[in-house]
A and B are shown apart, each in its own frame.
Chain A
């Protein structure tokens, strides 16, 4: 590249296509690619998740699954017939009659007669039901009896942990932001800022470990409850994790308030306390709301720490001492061992779509609110 540039530069000394021109063009292209790639990746990820998940939502057909084979075996279908119809394993039929005809075509109408009921009633394969997906608290994708894909408990679990985390993080981070932005000065302020950013750099698995091995016994002893892996544990951990990022953004929002506001208030005889709560905070409210919403987004998306600290237990919590399970943690724990292309695998992608939509909405509203700041 460098060589080509220099030769062309010597050939056309009188026009502007010298080395600097090429570097300029190259940088432009690079920046454009980098800029566009983020969008391309997001679209790509969305298409990939949707492609894998939609198959689960739309699936409705008739097939000889393993459970049907087990039932046929229970009903004493002879071995040679069972072996013969294994060729139909995995084939999909749009109606039960088509499936029955295919079986009859292999082992004969008479031989298939006694198993008609099983073949028609048990071969329907439609794992996704809109109502139970959103309202059933039972998530049992590997059940031997009947797989159930209900996400209610998972959504409530994620929401309860995030909610508690925000209750803890909001006062702490807004307080810290006000102190750093309005009161601290000079080296103290720089030191605090660095410290807060350092806190944000602690890996989530370390937080999870703290929850699992330190907070768990502590909560059992302090509150005299049977288990310390619960909403409280995960909420505290997640609150501590979300606080630094919220502090940083909130502090930026406070700093964006022009100094003339403060000076004007001071000239009117307001105390520092009054300046902050009557003037600065209201002026920065959009930025502060955006900070909180980004913290919420962080809470919804956090995986490793909640996997370790919640107890990973499917439950509709009635108090903060109940164990719960988060949507992200479910995906993380189960995707690795789910057979690629199976209903379970696709159901996890559907869960991913749901999660994606929720965090997308949160981030979008944070963004719109931030945008509102700039327009004013």
Chain B
């Protein structure tokens, strides 16, 4: 019985790999940012229907991994949540590649508080004083609110683990690269942040716009203290009025041609942009999807 199972299994495996081998007319290697990896996978799957002769192989590993693959020529497209560094660009040039940058969407970081928190808006300055090292704000009453169910009105800071892209981007955009205060709850995923905020009245946390739920409240963000605030949304991220939104990039080895160009054009088309919107990121321009 077991012997047959092994044979069946092996046959299935061979069948699978051979069909994959036949189906792939062209393979586009797509590697990089973990922020983008879910969207990139959805794009790759949907593109199967658009162009069945092209298969897109997506893998994550971080923006740096994507650039490394672009430099040594093993990736056709590198996904990144940051711009290419000078050193990476020089290395790519030395290998005869001229990386070309495309913005494929925006990732807006929303600031979440508990549902019963009466706070509506906050400025970047105040956020830096809450999260940044040496910042003076540690209690909700310093922000002029009284949070029901929060003992001692102590602000519980919910953050991310120190090598996530979200952590680095929040530090850059809000705290001008200053260090974080010690003692924040460093969650291991974007969803963990909203989950914890939902259950903890005293908390404040930042996470992608995609992770908003009905059980947490998003704050309106003002760039300057006393200035008008902007609510995070796909629209405000795409028109760049929302202050903590970052572009998401794809880099190609050189000016794209052939299937790679077609793929990128499709990503930037309404169809491709609706997919990124469905995944909770902001499209590069307002699109209407069904």
Mark A residues whose CB is within 8 Å of B.
Answer: 66, 69, 82-83, 86, 89, 137-145, 153, 212-213, 216-217, 220, 224-229, 307, 311-315, 323, 325, 333-334, 337-339, 344
Contact = CB atoms under 8 A, between A and B. Distances in A.
Nearest to B159: A313
Given A145-B178, A227-B200, A313-B183, A82 B86 contact: yes
B185 A312 contact: yes
Contact of B161 (A138, A213, A217, A333): A333
Given A226-B201, A314-B186, 5 more contacts: A220-B151, A220-B200, A229-B185, A337-B34, A337-B62
Given A66-B87, A217-B199, A224-B151, A314 B183 contact: yes
Contacts of B62: 337, 339
B127 interface: no
B185 A338 contact: no
B179 interface: yes
Interface string B174-208: 00011110111111100000001001111100000
A65 to B, nearest CB: 10
B118 interface: no
A369 to B, nearest CB: 37
Given A89-B87, A227-B156, A216 B186 contact: no
Contacts of B167: 142
Contacts of A213: 199
B177 A145 contact: yes
B41 to A, nearest CB: 19
Main secondary structure of the interface of B (DSSP, over half): mixed
B162 interface: yes
- The residue in B64, B86, B150, B202 that gathers the most chain A C-beta atoms within 10 A of its C-beta is B86
A318 to B, nearest CB: 12
A333 B64 contact: no
A319 to B, nearest CB: 12
Q: Which of B150, B154, B162, B202 has the most CB of A within 10 A?
A: B162
Given A313-B186, A333-B186, A216 B87 contact: no
B26 interface: no
